[in-house]
Structure 1
Amino acid sequence: MTIDTCPDRLRVDAHDLELIRICRHHNPHGVFGWHRIGEASDDPYLAVVRTRQIGAEKVVLRMDGVGEIEMVNTGDDIFVAGLENADPHAYRLEVTWPGGFTTDLADAYNFLPTLGDMDLYLIGEGRHEHLWEVLGSHVRRYDSTMGDVDGVSFAVWAPNAKGVAVIGDFNGWNCTQHPMRSLGSSGVWEIFIPGVKKGATYKYAIHTPDARRDKADPMARRAETPPATGSIVCESSFTWSDDEWMDTRRTTDWQKKPMSVYEVHLGSWNLGEDYRDLAKDLVDYVKEMGYTHVEFMPVAEHPFGGSWGYQVSGYYAPSSRWGTPDGLRYLIDQFHRNGIGVLVDWVPAHFPKDDWALARFDGPALYEHPDWRRGEQTDWGTYVFDFGRREVKNFLVANALYWCEEFHVDGLRVDAVASMLYLDYSKKDGEWLPNQYGGREHLEAVQFLQEMNATVHRTFPGVLTVAEESTSWPGVTAPTDHNGLGFSMKWNMGWMNDTLSYFKEDPINRSWHHGEITFSMVYAYSEKFILPISHDEVVHGKGSLWTRMPGDAWNKAAGVRSLFGYMWAHPGKQLLFQGQEFAQKQEWGESRSLDWGDKEGWEGEYHRGVTELVKKLNAVYAATPALYTLDDKPEGFSWVKCDDAQGNVLAFIRHGSDGDKLLCVCNFGGMTHKGYNLGMPEAGTWELVLNTDAKEFEGAGNELAETVSTITYPWDNQDHSISIDIPAMSVQWYLKQA
């Protein structure tokens, strides 16, 4: 058969050919590949094989049981071969390229879809909890009588597209080589391409009525290192060794356990280290410091490093800035093997407008809400997810599960929850749309958060979800079956703001701000709280903790130490951002390492002293059930002294579920109080277990009694009292003896 003798029945139909040329064919698999063409009266052909090989000089069809047939180029680099047998047979294509180079290929258009009917049904319903297993790119192998076929399947949700093709380094980025098929009304486009391997770089060429958009894969599990924007075919070969941790986690109630969190930006903790470097250095450091958990600022891929990861372009791809996905798995595995939990920041509130990522993915708004009054956060220059769309909600819920399943994370700290809950968040009149009842509550976002929390907790018992929520929205940590949002814990932003506001005041002025330091106990049990001093408090001109403290270097160090002594004793878990554990002088910057040299300068002893205090705080905290077992219960706390504004003194008792008690005494003033009387609720002896003013922490080292006992001397409406010395700018912990 030659081009002149090739029957029209074997050629591509003119209408199909035009759609192929402009990359707008919904079913290229119906054109290319093997097809039965039935009985014919004017020629002997009962089946046809068609393939498009851009730039090929010759294509030979090698078919099992048939032999070799040289295919005819009918134009547009479309090669065809007629078959006299209507039965399907396995086949391969031998393609000769200019210069005589030959490749042996299986045909991409001779494979069934890699998504089944149930997958498509669940995607349409917005309930596919393992979405990453069917969308995106996946290395696959098929058995064949013509030899095993290795390749990669690609699937993407683009319901508004007129045509979609895979482009990559394996096809010259030519969008006419591998057009994808549309799987009905699901909006999913799919193809399996033999010969593509792990590590290949690709995108989707998405054709809309008026443009072609080359897009990174929303479900890519690896991405190129920015500023490059391609997706990378990824396959994990990692073997986990954290079974003991994972088994224990399933039955752990962290609300009743010590929880001290070290927040980390992986790129700047020690600039230049990747996931595997950090698996040694960071793990050793966090363990030495005594933290129970580490929290990573967002590790999902993001185009702009200055966003710190809070503007995500690849929700399923760990950032390539610091290594491979398996490198991140190794880092988390090492934390688990050392008994340390791992939380990651997760950003479902909004995403950037980069035209190669999620924004206007297939033409009109898809992942974002179509009305700008709901679909944009103008302050941040980002789009807001359309939480009411089933497929979008599925994308996000599955993403939460993905990090728990594939990376064994122990918690998700959900960023910017307040921006999700309120339709008028940071907006002026006329810039937002009320809900169906005329209110400002974002009902679809509420439903999404409830579904995400309930699904994560059902699927992964022991995994925490933590809300960064800066308002008084009720029931953030209430169960979803009680109409709460269902988070495990919430950042206590009110405590953070009031506390830092108080500590920046000169001690001589603090008596006028006493209410700021006591107010947190008014609402301490309204939610299950974490006390955060996060990255947000040491950037954008706010200064570091060190620079916020009044006075000279000694007083600054004493101020930081007394803040930490108070913080670790206050009800709630605690979180401290990297660098604050040694009172870094400068604000944090994502483009440089922490200022480890602060501990080596002429004031270095003060910074080393803060480090030693944090170690001691974590150690005593973990060994003292009174400080954590009743964190969310009013019976876990009682005031001893809260009204001495003039003396800048606070004193309270923390109570444990097993009856143990710890007395915390704080003097935030510049004057030492000698023989200070405290009324006590019962008789007993108390042992000093921590003193932030001790010489080992570079404090003044004033001599304090190691034990103090109550006397029967009424004070402050109590029958018993103790008399103690309280050094200036210091905190002491006393443990009640049995």
Structure 2
Amino acid sequence: MTDCPTPRDALLDAGVPNADRLDELLAGTLRDPRLLLGAHPRPDGTLVRSWQPGAEEVTVVGADGRRTVLAMAHPAGLFSGVVPAGFFPGLRRGGFGSGPPDYRIEVRRAGRTELREEPYLFDTGIGAFDLHLISEGSHEGLWRVLGAHPQARVVGDRSVPGTSFAVWAPGARGIRVRGDVDRCAGRATPMRALDGSGVWELFVPGVAEGAGYDFEVLGADGVWRAKADPLAFSAAPPPGTTSVVHRSRFTWSDDEWLARRASRPWWQQPLSVYEVHLGSWRPGLGYRELAARLADHVTELGFTHVELLPIAEHPYGGSWGYQVTSYYAPTARFGGPDDFRWFVDHLHSRGIGVLLDWVPAHFPRDEWALAGFDGTPLYEHADPRRGEHPDWGTLIFDHGRPQVRNFLVANALYWVEEFHVDGLRVDAVASLLHLDFSREDGEWEPNVHGGRENLEAVALLRELTERMGRAHPDVLLAAEDSTTWPGVTRRTDEGGLGFGLKWNLGWMHDTLDYLGLDPVERAAQHGRLAFSLSYADTENFLLPLSHDEVVHGKGSLWSRMPGDDAAKAAGVRALFGLMWAHPGRKLLFMGGEFGQVREWSEAAGLDWELLDDPRHEGLRRLVAECNRLYRALPALYTGEDAGAGFSWLDATDAVSNVLAFLRHGADGSTLACVANLAGVAHREHRVGLPAAGIWRERLNTDAREFGGAGTGNRGAVTAEPIPWQGRPASAVLHLPASGVVWLTPE
């Protein structure tokens, strides 16, 4: 602001005591501005000092209207004066009575007069125990202490509204709040450091919800930097970078959903996930409009959950949300934080769970965000071999620093407790677990045992799953891990990482690569298709056909299939028939449900008009039917975790390109899945079954209602007591080309 002169160090001392403290105030390095500012009782009255850069006149106004003009003690903006004894009720010799004295500051600046509250009257609102927990990195409710919290503080008989700001920056030499909170660009609101905890705090009266702010941080290197609040609960829409003061006023109505979630946890139920990038699902809609339309779509298709690509605030839309700058703020692209709460609440009211992608591995280098926050590598690891990601150009969290782990673990709890989300998918777990991830020899340093395991990141993941398990045992944590790390879904007290689910990326690669071959080339790769079923019970798996498989030149699921449009449609139908019968929970990225032809782009919407084509509409109907049967037939979702939910019928018929297996429910039910991945139908194909009698054709991916040719078994087959494939009975099936058939006993 032009009316706020820049402080200068070499100015005359106007008789203010503690001139060295004055120099610190002017330089922005005074760790407790209340040493100089505010009200200080003396035997002859009260010394009042106020920091008002650019002011022409400053007057103390008492609760009863009495006034005392302060003298300019320093031209940079320090005003000082002694008000006589009796000016403040309750004054005692050497101190005040209950609470700070009641007065306001009248400031005349550039011809305007304004009555303001004095921020340096108020003590901190952060307790000693909170500071202890923050110091040791164990504060599970970190967001309740740090960040910007609108509140009221009592002075005299008045309740003074404002906002308490608090930030962790142990290396900072000084911090000021600036923005809408201070028309002098932060110079009037220096914060104070609290008890060696690394926390800086200031209550600023008059700051209301919706005010924009950031922190001006004097780093350990002597450089001032403008920084967004790491725990901002709201942020300006990109390309804006300011934090925004927010207090939720939302009233939840999902008590019934949460009670049901707690009484019957996710692992006892079918779980089928529709993965969504909000910005491109229906471009131009906000959280509330998206909630209504998405709930209709997901309900019609029968998915149990939606999973959102990261919605924490991020400046670059092309990162799809995976380069987060404000971990505690839902992106403002679609509305405010309470609009996102409405989104979750509405989906819960429709019986749909909400999962979020969560990114604890890395963050972008934007100078206004976490990078070098206090002039030191605070959130990022100081060693470039561990603090810089070679693939993504981002910085890697210092997972060995307790306060950084606390920042991340508390953030996971924050989304569950403040936004009622039902689970988190933890991104890039493989990059967390391995020191040599995407690094050549010489570019990484072994751990203390000489290995490649990132022991600090392992500790973070175990702390995450343990704390979430204690606080919210019914919340799902899924790991995106592409490696063979053992025990990802094993309990931590048994040596595992403690996740509920692990993404089965091996299944995804093997299946898509196999189905991408011309059918005449598949026989040689038959073992690859069957391989995932050999280890399906080693972890609690989720089968992902995610956004990563339809970008970066890979094409869409539709375009990856060989042949003409009819063959492509059959290939995608066969993929879905196999996927929903295969052990493991399900995940499908948006557009896959109707055979999006173009590769996905975050900058464009989906091609919904394809649903006018019977083949694409047939795919949508197939996905809905797969989900309906998945939820209706316990054989498809129970018994998995015990490894008792699957057995082979035929894994070796490479010549015919046929794969056949059984699914077993905890209730004793059975389902047979027979897949013919050849380019031709098999009219007389015998398959072993566990019992003679009538077996109903519950699903045929070649059915006409799904856009197929209608080759099948007229709704049922009769199994004869003819032993086959190690089973006491068998049936002859008509198997459609590139088709999958499900059978259940009558």
TM class by shorter chain equals over 0.9
Residue 637 (structure 1) aligns with: 646
For structure 1, which segment, 610-619 or 99-108, has the greater mean C-alpha deviation from structure 2 after superposition? 99-108
Alignment check: 8 A CA contact 2:698 2:742 kept: yes
Pairing partner for 1:720 from 699, 719, 729: 729
Pairing partner for 1:611 from 617, 620, 630: 620
2:31 matches 1:26: yes
Pairing partner for 1:544 from 549, 553, 556: 556
Q: CA deviation at 1:99?
A: 5.5
Q: CA deviation at 1:634?
A: 2.6
Alignment check: 8 A CA contact 2:56 2:110 kept: no
For structure 1, which segment, 163-172 or 342-351, has the greater mean C-alpha deviation from structure 2 after superposition? 163-172
2:69 matches 1:70: yes
Alignment check: 8 A CA contact 2:691 2:721 kept: no
Q: CA deviation at 1:347?
A: 0.3
Q: CA deviation at 1:254?
A: 2.1
Normalised by the length of structure 2, the TM-score is 0.95
Kindly report which structure 2 residues correspond to 1:552-631, keeping only aligned pairs within 5 A, or say none: 552-600=564-612, 604-631=613-640
Q: CA deviation at 1:54?
A: 2.0
Q: Return the letter of the residue paired with 1:67.
A: R
Residue 285 (structure 1) aligns with: 297
Q: CA deviation at 1:10?
A: 7.4
Pairing partner for 2:334 from 322, 343, 360: 322
Percent of aligned pairs with the same amino acid: 51
Residue 651 (structure 1) aligns with: 660
* 3-state SS of 1:333 partner: helix
Residue 196 (structure 2) aligns with: 185
Residue 483 (structure 1) aligns with: 495
Kindly report which structure 2 residues correspond to 1:183-332, keeping only aligned pairs within 5 A, or say none: 183-208=194-219, 209-332=221-344
Q: CA deviation at 1:679?
A: 1.8
2:707 matches 1:698: yes
Residue 167 (structure 1) aligns with: 178
2:133 matches 1:133: no
* 3-state SS of 1:48 partner: strand
Alignment check: 8 A CA contact 1:223 1:231 kept: yes
Q: CA deviation at 1:703?
A: 5.0
* 3-state SS of 1:335 partner: helix
2:348 matches 1:336: yes
2:419 matches 1:420: no
Q: Return the letter of the residue paired with 1:109.
A: Y
Q: Return the letter of the residue paired with 2:80.
A: V
Note closer, same or farther for the CA distance 1:106–1:98 as it changes in structure 2 (3 Å cut): closer
Alignment check: 8 A CA contact 1:61 1:91 kept: no
Residue 116 (structure 1) aligns with: 127
CA–CA distance in structure 1, aligned partners of residues 68 and 252 of structure 2: 49
CA–CA distance in structure 2, aligned partners of residues 90 and 357 of structure 1: 38
CA–CA distance in structure 2, aligned partners of residues 290 and 595 of structure 1: 21
* 3-state SS of 1:592 partner: coil
Alignment check: 8 A CA contact 1:10 1:81 kept: no
2:364 matches 1:390: no
Q: CA deviation at 1:71?
A: 1.6
Pairing partner for 1:687 from 680, 696, 701: 696
For structure 1, which segment, 294-303 or 670-679, has the greater mean C-alpha deviation from structure 2 after superposition? 670-679
For structure 1, which segment, 15-24 or 612-621, has the greater mean C-alpha deviation from structure 2 after superposition? 15-24
CA–CA distance in structure 1, aligned partners of residues 642 and 476 of structure 2: 19
Q: CA deviation at 1:512?
A: 1.1
Note closer, same or farther for the CA distance 1:10–1:247 as it changes in structure 2 (3 Å cut): farther
* 3-state SS of 1:576 partner: strand
CA–CA distance in structure 2, aligned partners of residues 614 and 586 of structure 1: 19
CA–CA distance in structure 2, aligned partners of residues 49 and 371 of structure 1: 48
Residue 8 (structure 2) aligns with: none
2:352 matches 1:347: no
For structure 1, which segment, 267-276 or 47-56, has the greater mean C-alpha deviation from structure 2 after superposition? 47-56
Alignment check: 8 A CA contact 1:686 1:736 kept: yes
Alignment check: 8 A CA contact 2:700 2:712 kept: no
Residue 101 (structure 1) aligns with: 112
Pairing partner for 1:149 from 157, 160, 180: 160
Note closer, same or farther for the CA distance 1:388–1:560 as it changes in structure 2 (3 Å cut): same
CA–CA distance in structure 1, aligned partners of residues 46 and 406 of structure 2: 42
Alignment check: 8 A CA contact 2:39 2:101 kept: no
CA–CA distance in structure 2, aligned partners of residues 173 and 562 of structure 1: 65
2:6 matches 1:16: no
Q: Return the letter of the residue paired with 1:167.
A: R
Alignment check: 8 A CA contact 1:10 1:82 kept: no
Residue 3 (structure 1) aligns with: none
CA–CA distance in structure 1, aligned partners of residues 34 and 159 of structure 2: 21
Q: CA deviation at 1:61?
A: 0.9
Task: List gaps (5 residues or longer) in structure 2.
Answer: 1-12, 86-90
Alignment check: 8 A CA contact 1:249 1:461 kept: no
CA–CA distance in structure 1, aligned partners of residues 129 and 61 of structure 2: 35
Q: CA deviation at 1:56?
A: 2.1
Q: Return the letter of the residue paired with 1:377.
A: H
Q: Return the letter of the residue paired with 1:316.
A: Y
Kindly report which structure 2 residues correspond to 1:652-667, keeping only aligned pairs within 5 A, or say none: 652-667=661-676
CA–CA distance in structure 2, aligned partners of residues 23 and 533 of structure 1: 53
Aligned length: 722
Q: Return the letter of the residue paired with 1:78.
A: L
CA–CA distance in structure 1, aligned partners of residues 65 and 14 of structure 2: 21
Alignment check: 8 A CA contact 2:630 2:636 kept: yes
Task: List gaps (5 residues or longer) in structure 1.
Answer: 1-7, 40-44
Deviations 1:276-319 (A, max 9, x none): 11111111111111100000000101111111111110000111
Alignment check: 8 A CA contact 2:712 2:736 kept: no
CA–CA distance in structure 1, aligned partners of residues 664 and 518 of structure 2: 32
* 3-state SS of 1:500 partner: helix
Q: CA deviation at 1:173?
A: 5.5
Deviations 1:363-409 (A, max 9, x none): 11111111111111121111111111111111011001000000001
Note closer, same or farther for the CA distance 1:173–1:69 as it changes in structure 2 (3 Å cut): closer
Q: CA deviation at 1:180?
A: 0.4
CA–CA distance in structure 2, aligned partners of residues 714 and 342 of structure 1: 47
For structure 1, which segment, 369-378 or 191-200, has the greater mean C-alpha deviation from structure 2 after superposition? 369-378
Normalised by the length of structure 1, the TM-score is 0.96
Q: Return the letter of the residue paired with 1:47.
A: T
CA–CA distance in structure 1, aligned partners of residues 20 and 550 of structure 2: 62
Deviations 1:13-58 (A, max 9, x none): 3212211112111111111001124x4xxxxx34211111122222
* 3-state SS of 2:523 partner: helix
* 3-state SS of 2:115 partner: strand
CA–CA distance in structure 1, aligned partners of residues 184 and 229 of structure 2: 15
Q: CA deviation at 1:414?
A: 0.1
Residue 83 (structure 1) aligns with: 83
Q: Return the letter of the residue paired with 1:626.
A: A
Q: Return the letter of the residue paired with 1:83.
A: V
CA–CA distance in structure 2, aligned partners of residues 438 and 120 of structure 1: 36
Q: CA deviation at 1:9?
A: 10
For structure 1, which segment, 543-552 or 162-171, has the greater mean C-alpha deviation from structure 2 after superposition? 162-171
For structure 1, which segment, 124-133 or 702-711, has the greater mean C-alpha deviation from structure 2 after superposition? 702-711
Note closer, same or farther for the CA distance 1:173–1:698 as it changes in structure 2 (3 Å cut): farther
CA–CA distance in structure 2, aligned partners of residues 671 and 173 of structure 1: 77
Q: Return the letter of the residue paired with 1:35.
A: H
CA–CA distance in structure 1, aligned partners of residues 725 and 229 of structure 2: 67
Alignment check: 8 A CA contact 1:92 1:146 kept: no
* 3-state SS of 2:40 partner: strand
Q: Return the letter of the residue paired with 2:61.
A: R
